Amino acid sequence: MMAISRRISSVLGIRPGEGTRVAALVVHSLFNGVFCAFFLTAANALFLDRFEISFLPLAYIAAAAVGYVAVLAFSRLEKSAGVAALLVANLAVLLVVSGAFWFLARTTGNDWVVFAMFVFVGPMFGLVALGYWGLAGRLFDLRQGKRLFGLVGAGEEVSTIVGLFSIPFLVKALEGPLPLLLFATAGLLGSLLVVAGITRAFRATLASGADEPARPTAAAPGAGAGLSDLLRSRYFVLLAGSVVLLNFALYAVDFSFLAETRARFVGPEQLARFIGVFYGATKVVELVMKVGVSGRLLGQFGVKVGLLVLPVLLAVCAGFGVVIGGLGLGAAHFFVLVALAKLVAVVARSSAFEPSFRVLYQPVPGVERLSYQSHVEGTAKQLAVGVVGVALLLFSRGGAFDALKLFYGLVPIVALWGVVIVLVHREYRGKLVESLKSGERPRGAEGPLEALSPALLSGRPGRSAVALGLVERIAPARLPEALRSALDAPEAPARIAALGAVERAGLVELADRVGPLTEDADAAVQEAATRCWSRLSELEALVVDASRVEELARSAQAEDRSLAAMAIGRGSGAGADRLSVLLWDRDTDVRHAALEAAGRLGNAELWPLLVSQLAVPATAPVAASALVRIGPPVLGEIARAFGKSDLDPAVRYRSLAVCEAVGGAEANALLVGKLAFPDRSVRRRALASLVRAGHRVTPDQVPMVERAVEDVVREIAWDMGILLDLRERADVAEVREALEAEVEEDRAWLLDLLSLAHDPAAIALVKESLGSDSARSTVYALEILDLVLSEGLKPMVLPVLEDQTYGQTLRKLEAFVPRQRLELLDALGAVAHREFDRIGPWTRIVALETLGKVAPEVPRDLVAALFHPDPMVQDVAALGIVARDRASWEKHRARLKFDVRDRLDAVVGRGAAAEEELGEARSGYLRARLLRSVPAFSSLPSEVLVALASASEERLLKEGQRLPSPREPRDSFYVVVDGEVEAPAGSGNVLGRLGFFGVLPGSRPAAARGACHLVRLEPTRLYEVAGENAALVPGLLDACSLLARDAASA
């Protein structure tokens, strides 16, 4: 039974958690349908029987007046009472009115009671609709509304159909249409009871609204905007204009239909029978459209098409009417066409226009939405009805009436209506974006400099110096900006640190900021500023003294050679020949100064050398900064180097960072060309750079982006399929976690790709909102995508971004990405052997590891992985085989190359050496697993941690051994695996397992307390990761501050 229920829900598009609300609204609409069917038939039949058609315009005018009063009362009650009380009171009043009409018509038989009954049809139906759709708008959000508004109103169609087709039999049995009012009154009673139950069951939802805005408001709960306030809103005016034109068109068709009907049928019974059968047939078509077409129409083609269906069809009918009338093809033909126009008006309005129009209210804040709805569908509608009534009164003056003339007038009405719909849809898109911007959203991603700004201005001794050092390493292009900020800092330690950095870098361009500090109120700042000013003055003097620069360049002192390189870079006559010698200097500081000078000079002969230095971790940041300084001219050299098959992957990665920093059309074109590169890390780095630049591709590049989007969707679908194959088994939990992370990363990548082909700002807002915890923001974000995506991409992209199960997503994608179901071991093997550019290294590794554990024997996949080119994959394979069968390992070990065999021996141990006696960080794979547990790295993607682990190494310290040692690089970062480290030595501050600390030039030493096992991380790669992931920067700052000079007093 549950399976059947789920199947029905799936077919109808009802998702988990929606069933109760849908059922309640369907029952509510069933009773509404009973009221509408019987009240409409009785009122129309009695009116047409007792009054000439010339009274119809008067009835329209009276209906407009009554409708306005009714809406005014509804609006006042909305402001003074809660939503629940309003909905219940609305139906209670209508129940009394309906019962009173039956009683008065029954007891008095007065014609004016019948006239009043006909007048009240529109206002009463309008109030029923206001209450019903106001309730639906609060129970469902925008995306749900597009999908379900057509369905939840289908109950009304069912009961209306049954009621209308039963009317010929009831009229005959009851001897007239008047008793039908009792059935109508019973329908209202049922609606009242259902609404009372809904308001109790969903009180909290109704109080907040499905899309209630997150922004604060001073308005009282339930307060709505007044008409004068609404008229200042362009969106409201366009909505109201659309409703006015809708009613002009509908009442013109209705007048023609009623006039033609009265001319062909005589007596209340005949009129009631025809009206019942005609409206019954109309409701059958309406039901089919609502259940089978409405939701799919809106889902596939969007709100705009749904709004335009009705005016386009009415324009077609009006055109045919003009042709038939103009050719004089006969009254019967014209009546058929009028009846067809009436059918189109009823069916297209309820199944296409109204569900679409209801969606237009969703971006309106919940506190104002009911006011919009009541004034648009109340005030504006009644105004239109009144105007139509006056126009028709003049039109039919003297008893003459020609429906053909009304059809002539219908053509310009629907044309203008179409224009207004286009305008309101455009405003709707803007309103969605405005709604997203107005809510509480997560803060946009900050860069490294922003993350370090508080520390740059810090008064804590040592911390500001560390922060400047990190800016120099992570974002060197922004160092001058950081120094200007620090030189103006209120705290003396920050100014002193900045002066030291200016002095070391020889930044003559900041001399104007240094000069005033020589007279600073703080004596230590004065001293540092005087020393810095002297250095800058010396450097300026050297620029015009080529012989002195040559002398310094030949000096045995590294500081002199660095000064010479700085002078050459600033235009000294020493020239590039001497600089090319300094570029190969044995001292790192000298090489850095020479690389910076090469960037300042921009000599094309040195460009290949600068690019090659990107492969050297110690010089890569400075070389990259020099290339950025040269700018666009160097991009050609980068492109040539990129094409080399043997190029170090790290150089490719750093080259893309240079392109991003250079910026401009040429750099972006180079980055766009890398979106199809075989290495997925290159593709993603290029895409990230383009997104940060806000780049938008040219029209001829859009197909390439769309193909990339389709590829990403296929990858997401593949990952989801494997997740379903793995099920919820505990022994594959880590693989599931890795695949789920892949799905989330691919979703983000998908949105980044879309930003290249669509408005980058809008897509960035969508991405930010989808990542928030706000259901409202998520709904609006998806709606924006629904509006901007092409029809070809929409059915592929939206399913993978919507909040639904993997199974539901794959069912929607089945036409594009057929799914192959796999058994557990086959699924794990498929992940382990997936193409290298289709899956992340961590996911591959954990799948292979898990396969080795759950397989009944050593799987062939592990043996094959021993020969994989990735060392981490080899590590996992070797460990997995040894854990299952060491004899099997020895057998396959003999087939390995000597260097691979020796490395894996260190990983798995040899002979009697037990695995537990080996270090837990002895392989890149184990170090990657270790880094996942370090708090400072918790925000980093697994793929990044794998890259850090690949560039790391083990370090063993004896008791009392200190870091840094002469063998260590200038910058080093360590994670404690076993043992304890005192940082700094003698401070008593002890770091245990997973402790993280950093060493920069000038840092105080740390000492091992007993035997200690560390992992040393490659600093350049760590800085690059921090440049891409600003969340890592605070951890690096804290790690380096531990050993900073004067940190103890901080």
Q: Enumerate the β-bridge partners of residue 975.
A: 996, 1015
- Section 956-963 average pLDDT: 91
pLDDT tens-digit map of 463-494: 999 999 999 899 888 889 999 999 999 999 99
In a shared domain, residues 929 and 912:
no
Token pair listed for 95:
């129940």
In a shared domain, residues 47 and 99:
yes
Written as one letter, the residue type at 414 is V
CA–CA dist 986, 947 (Å, integer): 34
CA–CA dist 110, 577 (Å, integer): 113
pLDDT tens-digit map of 784-819: 787 788 878 888 998 998 888 898 899 889 888 888
Q: Enumerate the β-bridge partners of residue 1007.
A: 962, 982
pLDDT of the residue at 911: 57
Domain range enclosing 67: 17-213+225-438
Phi-psi domain of 3 (left: phi exceeds 0; alpha: psi -120 through 50; beta: other): alpha
Task: Give yes or no for residue 541 having a pLDDT over 60.
Answer: yes
CA–CA dist 378, 97 (Å, integer): 18
Of 924, 944, 966, the domain-final residue: 924
CA–CA dist 851, 862 (Å, integer): 8
pLDDT tens-digit map of 970-995: 789 999 999 999 988 778 889 999 99
DSSP 561: H
In a shared domain, residues 295 and 197:
yes
CA–CA dist 952, 872 (Å, integer): 12
pLDDT tens-digit map of 698-743: 999 999 999 999 999 999 999 999 999 998 888 999 999 999 999 9
In a shared domain, residues 162 and 259:
yes
CA–CA dist 938, 1034 (Å, integer): 12
Cα 622 → chain centroid: 36
pLDDT tens-digit map of 846-903: 999 999 999 988 888 889 999 998 999 999 999 999 988 888 888 888 899 988 898 8
Written as one letter, the residue type at 121 is V
pLDDT of the residue at 791: 79
Between 751 and 167, the more confident residue is 751
Percentages helix, strand, coil for the chain, rounded to the nearest 5? 75, 5, 20
In a shared domain, residues 249 and 185:
yes
Q: How many domains does the chain have?
A: 3
| All residues at 6 or more sequence positions from 951 whose CB lies less than 8 Å from its CB, including other chains | 1017, 1018, 1021
Read off the pLDDT band of 212 (50, 70, 90): very low
pLDDT tens-digit map of 178-203: 888 899 999 999 989 998 888 888 87
CA–CA dist 589, 572 (Å, integer): 19
Residue 536 belongs to what H/E stretch? helix 523-542
CA–CA dist 492, 446 (Å, integer): 26
Nearest to 866 by CA among 908, 913, 928, 838: 908
CA–CA dist 129, 382 (Å, integer): 14
Q: Is residue 433 part of a domain?
A: yes
| All residues at 6 or more sequence positions from 445 whose CB lies less than 8 Å from its CB, including other chains | 1030
Q: Is residue 556 part of a domain?
A: no
Read off the pLDDT band of 948 (50, 70, 90): very high
Token pair listed for 186:
């019973």
Decide: helix, strand or coil at residue 953: strand
pLDDT tens-digit map of 679-704: 888 999 999 999 988 899 999 999 99
Tell me how crowded residue 607 is: count the other CB atoms within 10 A of its CB: 22
Kindly report the CATH number assigned to the domain that includes residue 986.
2.60.120.10
Kindly report the CATH number assigned to the domain that includes residue 358.
1.20.1250.20
Beta strands in 290-400 (DSSP E): none
Written as one letter, the residue type at 717 is A
Q: Are 401 and 53 in contact (CB under 8 A)?
A: yes
Beta strands in 672-817 (DSSP E): none
Least confident of 88-97, 164-173, 824-833: 164-173
pLDDT of the residue at 1050: 33
Helical axes 558-569 vs 588-601, angle rounded to 10° = 10
Written as one letter, the residue type at 427 is E
Of 924, 958, 990, the domain-final residue: 924
Distance set, CA 975 to CA 190, 375, 467, 962, 1015 (Å): 70, 66, 20, 15, 5
Residue labelled with tokens 């001292």: 587
Residue 1011 belongs to what H/E stretch? strand 1006-1017
Task: Give yes or no for residue 627 having a pLDDT over 90.
Answer: yes
Nearest 10 degrees: Cα torsion 155, 158, 164, 166: -120
pLDDT of the residue at 264: 75
Burial of 702 (0-12, 13-18, 19+ CB in 10 A): middle
Tell me how crowded residue 91 is: count the other CB atoms within 10 A of its CB: 26
Token pair listed for 1038:
């804290």
In a shared domain, residues 938 and 917:
no
CA–CA dist 718, 527 (Å, integer): 65
pLDDT tens-digit map of 280-337: 788 788 777 766 666 666 666 677 888 888 899 888 888 877 777 666 655 566 677 7
Q: Is residue 576 part of a domain?
A: no
- Residue by residue, DSSP assigns 169-225 as HHHHHHTSSTTHHHHHHHHHHHHHHHHHHHHHHTHHHHHH-TT--SS---SPTT---
* Polymer length in residues for the chain: 1050
CA–CA dist 756, 699 (Å, integer): 10
Between 371 and 806, the more confident residue is 806
In a shared domain, residues 876 and 990:
no
Of 889, 924, 959, the domain-final residue: 924
Between 918 and 177, the more confident residue is 177
pLDDT of the residue at 656: 93
In a shared domain, residues 196 and 300:
yes
- Section 512-520 average pLDDT: 92
In a shared domain, residues 826 and 937:
no
Q: Is residue 309 part of a domain?
A: yes
pLDDT of the residue at 62: 87
Q: Is residue 661 part of a domain?
A: no
In a shared domain, residues 873 and 1008:
no
- Section 563-589 average pLDDT: 82
pLDDT tens-digit map of 153-167: 667 778 878 887 888
Helical axes 794-801 vs 775-788, angle rounded to 10° = 170
CA–CA dist 692, 265 (Å, integer): 71
Residue 43 belongs to what H/E stretch? helix 19-50
Burial of 898 (0-12, 13-18, 19+ CB in 10 A): exposed
Q: Is residue 698 part of a domain?
A: no
CA–CA dist 624, 637 (Å, integer): 13
Task: Give yes or no for residue 218 having a pLDDT over 50.
Answer: no
DSSP 978: E
Share of the chain above pLDDT 90, in %: 32
**Rg for the chain, CA atoms, rounded:** 38
In a shared domain, residues 977 and 1028:
yes
123-143 b/e (C-beta count within 10 Å ≥ 16 → b): bbbbbbbbbbbbbbbbbbbbb
Decide: helix, strand or coil at residue 81: coil
Cα 138 → chain centroid: 23
Q: Are 147 and 410 in contact (CB under 8 A)?
A: no
DSSP 955: E
| All residues at 6 or more sequence positions from 706 whose CB lies less than 8 Å from its CB, including other chains | 757, 790, 792, 793
Token pair listed for 283:
């409701």
Task: Give yes or no for residue 151 having a pLDDT over 60.
Answer: yes
Cα 484 → chain centroid: 36
Q: Is residue 788 part of a domain?
A: no
- Is the torsion defined by CA of 75, 81, 82, 87 positive or negative? negative
- Section 903-913 average pLDDT: 75
In a shared domain, residues 880 and 1008:
no
Q: Is residue 343 part of a domain?
A: yes
Mean pLDDT, the chain, rounded, equals: 83
CA–CA dist 135, 718 (Å, integer): 40
